[in-house]
Structure 1
């Protein structure tokens, strides 16, 4: 019997996937092709999934009731976040934790938007213990780039996970933690049915189209882009924000940045004239039509630690479509943009610089063609079969893991207990917040009713 591999996806699977679902689905396909005799199961949280047409792997649903049965039935378990109650299988299974983001910094930004005071501190402590548990759980770890890998190696050292035994076995630590960047779509870009010019109201045949490829969340900066377009003052340049609410991730819905962007666009007279918003989440299949029809893409964000350790997965479809783009400096892919001339890198919160970059990329046809050619040349190195080689290698190997499980059992037990305690503290503060919000809502309703009564 071949190796039984379970991929536990924390995001939405199916037509409207964002990065977690896209990555998990690609991993299932790659492992089914490249691990000899593997039987791969991809598990998601939603019910409306479809089985792959080629039958290469099986898709199912996981929840708190069936997760133990799923783990028991497989040899290798892969997830970005392993639930603590599968720890009973720790001595008997091989676990891969796919840390394709620097979650400590990402969650710090999420907490800034959603929580405050004691609850925000509880959120940070909860997320810190989550990561410590994941790092200890993992027999093998993946990151999306070398900068992320360095940060996680530092965390592993501080947790005592890099013992002399581990280091002597592999001084590079590549058998313990390696980089596996987000890959591109396997098919070549082509022509398809139009979705913007001459189809969507407001988009004329002669317009130049800018795509903001993805949602608008805490660490992004749409205000700078809107101001740059106001400076340019060109009615022939149309901007479409392609995503709003992330599928299956309530913390990344239509937050402050999204609402502020719409308010700014309306105040500038841009809304539904030169600036447009998709209110939901465009399907994975439909998204490629948008990026193929656009002239350029722009993504602005802030130069903070989330940016430094990020791997902007929204850029991957731009590379696939050979769509030149403008981005803010500070992250790994921005360095690639500058080095490989995939587009233009601009300083953060600098509307005039961004306006000049947009004008050059849109109007300088020779430069645009150069960027497209350079993007096309990068295609081979970004195929999922190439980027997932470290995962293929681990899943194809047999025998003991680099880090002995007996060395990690005491730390894992302590960190699971710490996580459960921190989660209880956070949930206590969360219930207090919900009660406070309900009381405020009742008070507002009472005030409106009283005011209406006075008016009567």
Structure 2
């Protein structure tokens, strides 16, 4: 079973895209269920895919319990370990996915909080990290650089120990890399989708494609200011943000630089 902590549907942010495409790959070899948080996608979404899709309620164990007890292996993002501590009691092997470095995101998102309030939220985040490092049988992340980050955290939580070292000095049997998650096939250009199509973008313009949202922790304002400086020398450069609102309405305005970007 795969658990996504973000919306899975026709419109998705990074985490949903990752778990959707991982499910497409794993579903070819295993009987697989993909769980996504409410709201549910359109009924016809993923009907032809090699996995079954269902929705759950965050923190409501009965909404996911049956699937969790059915599974032999569960791949889950870090916060899900805190949302569902009952996962400790299932028989499945638990694989914690560190693709989304939520502590780093949280620090950028809440940097303007007063120290008292920020400290309370920080303690919750540390407890969430502790839960995942305690529960996980195996850990994955999306790049070698991320692996360096998570190795340090695993060391601090006692998982780089003599027993795991004896089993594998590289610790690859504890933590390894699973790339982000994209279709297998090479992309093929079949029709214009941006150049000469989007308002203000000509067919011969040079595009700089921003791969994420306008989140504080990605610092999109620096990129916007940089392109503004380039504009002084050449006017054929366009910085493109394909998505400016989170597909989950509950998160649409959280930690966003939308208004600042418009200004």
Indicate whether the TM-score tops 0.5: yes
Q: d(CA) in 2 for partners of 1:200 and 1:128? A: 43
CA shift, 1:139, in A, is 0.7
State the secondary structure of the residue aligned to 2:32.
strand
1:11/1:247 contact within 8 Å kept = no
Q: Distance in 1 between matches of 2:7 and 2:164?
A: 36
Report the TM-score when normalising by structure 1.
0.51
- Once the 2 structures are TM-superposed, how far is the Cα of residue 95 of structure 1 from its aligned partner? 0.7
Partner in structure 1 of residue 23 of structure 2:
28
Q: Which has the higher contact order (CA 8 A, sep 6+)?
A: 1
CA 1:47–1:250: 2 relative to 1, 3 Å: closer
Larger radius of gyration: 1
Say whether residues 1:48 and 2:47 are aligned partners. Answer: no
Would the alpha carbon gap of residues 95 and 255 (structure 1) be closer, same or farther in structure 2, given more than 3 Å must change? closer
Distance 1:146 1:189 in 2: 25
- 1:227-260 C-alpha deviation (Å, 9 max, x unpaired): 3343333443333322212222745636463322
Change beyond 3 A, Cα 1:109–1:149: same
Aligned counterpart, 2:2: 7
Q: Which of 47, 51, 58 is the matching residue for 1:57?
A: 51
Report SS of the residue matched to 2:200: coil
Distance in 1 between the 2:148 and 2:220 partners?
30
Structure 1 236/160 Cα, relative in aligned 2: closer, same or farther at 3 Å?
closer
In the superposition, the TM-score normalised over structure 2's length comes to 0.84
Instruction: Give 1:210 deviation, angstroms.
Output: 3.2
Conservation of the 8 A alpha-carbon contact between 1:216 and 1:254: no
Could you tell me which residue of structure 2 aligns to residue 74 of structure 1? 71
Paired residues for 1:376-387 under 5 Å: none
User: Cα–Cα, structure 1 residues 123 and 250, in superposed 2: closer, same or farther, change >3 Å?
Assistant: farther
Q: Which residue matches 2:244?
A: 244
Give a deviation string over 1:86-123, Cα, whole Å, max 9, x none. Answer: 24524x2211111113332222112225x433221111
Tell me the SS of whatever aligns to 1:178. strand
In the alignment, the residues of structure 1 paired with residue 20 and residue 49 of structure 2 have an alpha-carbon distance, to the nearest angstrom, of: 13
Equivalent residue for 1:185? Answer: 183
CA positional deviation for 1:71:
0.8
SS of 2:224's partner is helix
How many correspondences in the alignment?
253
Check 1:205–1:42 CA distance in 2 against 1; reply closer, same or farther (3 A cut): same
Map of 1:103 onto structure 2: 102
How much does 1:51 deviate?
A: 5.0
| Counterpart contact for 2:68–2:87, Cα < 8 Å | no
* Structure showing the higher helix proportion among its residues: 1
Aligned to 1:428: none
Question: How far apart are the structure 1 equivalents of 2:183 and 2:174?
Answer: 27
Quick one: structure 1 residues 225 and 147, their matched pair in 2 at CA, closer, same or farther if it must change by over 3 Å?
closer
Q: Is the 8 A contact 2:3 2:74 kept in 1?
A: yes
Q: Is the 8 A contact 1:79 1:97 kept in 2?
A: yes
CA distance in 1 between partners of 2:88 and 2:195 (Å): 56
Change (3 A) 1:101 1:40: same
How many Å apart are 1:44 and its aligned residue?
Answer: 0.6
Shift of 1:173: 1.7
Aligned residues of 1:220 and 1:257 also touching (Cα < 8 A): no
Q: How far 1:25 sits from its partner (Å)?
A: 1.3
Determine the C-alpha separation between the residues in 1 that align with 2:249 and 2:124. Answer: 18
Q: CA separation in 2, counterparts of 1:67 and 1:163?
A: 33
| Alignment correspondent of 1:443 | none
Q: Which moved more, 1:99-108 or 1:72-81?
A: 99-108
What's the offset of the Cα at 1:218? 1.0
